[in-house]
Amino acid sequence: MKKLVLLGSTGSIGTQTLEVVDFLAGEWEVIGLTANKNIDLLEEQARKYRPSYLVVMYESLARELEYRLADQRVNILLGLEGLEYLAGLPEADLVINALVGAVGLRPTVAALKAGNKVGLANKESLVIGGELINKYLEENDDFILPIDSEHNALFQILSGHHRDEIKEIILTASGGPFLNLPREGLKDVSVEEALNHPNWNMGCRISIDSATLMNKGLEVIEAHWLFKQPYDKIRVVIHPESIIHSMVEFIDKSIMAELGVADMRIPIQHVLTYPERKWGIGKSLNLLELGKLTFRAPDLEKFPALGLAYAAGREGGSLSVVLNAANEIAVEGFLNKKIPFTDIPRIVEKTMDLHETVAHPDLDEIYEIDKWARRMAEEVLVGCF
Ligand code: MG
């Protein structure tokens, strides 16, 4: 059996990954699982999969888990160091990084440094550390297996093609729950409405990011680093049905698309069985039932977050670190009902304005700038700027 380390096993991608592991019975042995603070679910997973290692982010929870799992042979590690240790386990055949947020970069780097294959669902790794990650990948002549549905689609479309053959990458976006809401209505939307994504079943943070289109903006930056394309060759098209997960137009004007039902278990399975294909866990797409697919341009005035992400990506260096950190703080502020929905991009923009870009930040600088940006965004949020 191949050995899997799954970082972020209690989240949306984590639990769906374990569903696919169950479905592919006998192929994967789970050797490491991690949770932020959901130790009830982590305990349940530990009893089912019997991994050698668990990581939680808080000491008191680690002690509690040790007590509960006293009858199990398992090493319980703590925090970021624990995540890095698991990511770098020499016996791992695949490390799936399904962590949420900037915290995911260090474990991605640890996995790549150890020469481990990475299945990446943590988009922040590339958004804040894309240049560093590509350096490690180039050194090892390695590549990442993307799990984000759009990038997994692009990865599938592009395999066997040289990047010089790409005319344009077309990232599709559902448009989120407020696609058809008039712009003036956005400032009054509730947390519950913003969390109600029309097509995908996702975690809290990414649901809000989908509603602001920041998620698509982060994905533009992700695509830039994964497929090494300039930003003017990465276009976003709103496709409310979420059936086409992304497209590539090649220089001969041929366009290729990847289609399927909106089910994250499909790209997860693609990564778990790569380079083979196996009978899938997902449902087949019924084109006749669907009838038609629609497309429109994104409204950048209504959803300024997308433009901010392009601006950060184009500027390069540390500005995307600030974009991401300020967004995490602003989204938290919205979820805690401290600010209206429309303040999310405003806080991000203001924090970006306060930053002086560092051209090629190293790992420590990235996290310093991340911390700085969080502090500044908090101050912007409470009205200091
Ligand atoms: Mg996506």
Q: For 260-275, how does the pLDDT look when each residue is reduced to its tens digit (9 = 90+)?
A: 999 999 999 999 999 9
Residues 102 and 240 in one domain: no
Number of domains observed in the structure of the chain: 2
Q: For 90-107, how does the pLDDT look when each residue is reduced to its tens digit (9 = 90+)?
A: 999 999 999 999 999 999
Q: Is residue 279 part of a domain?
A: no
Q: For 324-370, how does the pLDDT look when each residue is reduced to its tens digit (9 = 90+)?
A: 999 999 999 999 999 999 999 999 999 999 999 999 999 999 999 99
Instruction: Please report which helix (H) or strand (E) contains residue 167, including its range.
Output: strand 166-173
Q: Assign residue 7 the CATH number of its domain.
A: 3.40.50.720
Q: Look over the chain and give the mean of its residue pLDDT values, rounded to a whole number.
A: 96
Q: Is residue 282 part of a domain?
A: no
Is residue 217 very low, low, confident or very high in pLDDT (cuts 50, 70, 90)?
very high
Q: Which pLDDT value is given to residue 203? A: 77
Centre of ligand 1 to C-alpha 242, Å, is 10
Centre of ligand 1 to C-alpha 149, Å, is 5
Mean pLDDT, rounded, for 44-55: 98
Centre of ligand 1 to C-alpha 82, Å, is 27
Q: Which pLDDT value is given to residue 205? A: 84
Listed residues 72, 97, 122: the one ending a domain? 122
| Alpha carbon separation from 320 to 324, 328, 331 (Å, rounded) | 6, 12, 16
Centre of ligand 1 to C-alpha 171, Å, is 9
Q: Is residue 97 part of a domain?
A: yes
Residues 250 and 331 in one domain: yes
Centre of ligand 1 to C-alpha 74, Å, is 34
Q: How far apart are CA 110 and CA 372, in angstroms?
A: 23
Centre of ligand 1 to C-alpha 150, Å, is 5
Mean pLDDT, rounded, for 283-296: 95
Q: Is residue 268 part of a domain?
A: no
Range of the domain at 215: 161-261+287-381
Q: Which pLDDT value is given to residue 344? A: 98
Residues 173 and 114 in one domain: no
Centre of ligand 1 to C-alpha 151, Å, is 7
Q: Which pLDDT value is given to residue 247? A: 98
Residues 180 and 87 in one domain: no
Report the sign of the C-alpha dihedral through residues 17, 20, 21, 27, in that order.
Answer: negative
Residues 166 and 118 in one domain: no
Centre of ligand 1 to C-alpha 131, Å, is 20
Residues 168 and 302 in one domain: yes
Structure tokens at 364: 């420590």
Q: What pTM value is reported for the model?
A: 0.96
Q: Which pLDDT value is given to residue 346? A: 97
Q: Which pLDDT value is given to residue 97? A: 98
Centre of ligand 1 to C-alpha 14, Å, is 15
Centre of ligand 1 to C-alpha 121, Å, is 9
Contact predicate 319/348, CB 8 Å: no
Centre of ligand 1 to C-alpha 87, Å, is 23
Centre of ligand 1 to C-alpha 232, Å, is 20
Q: Which pLDDT value is given to residue 201? A: 66
Q: Assign residue 354 the CATH number of its domain.
A: 1.10.1740.10
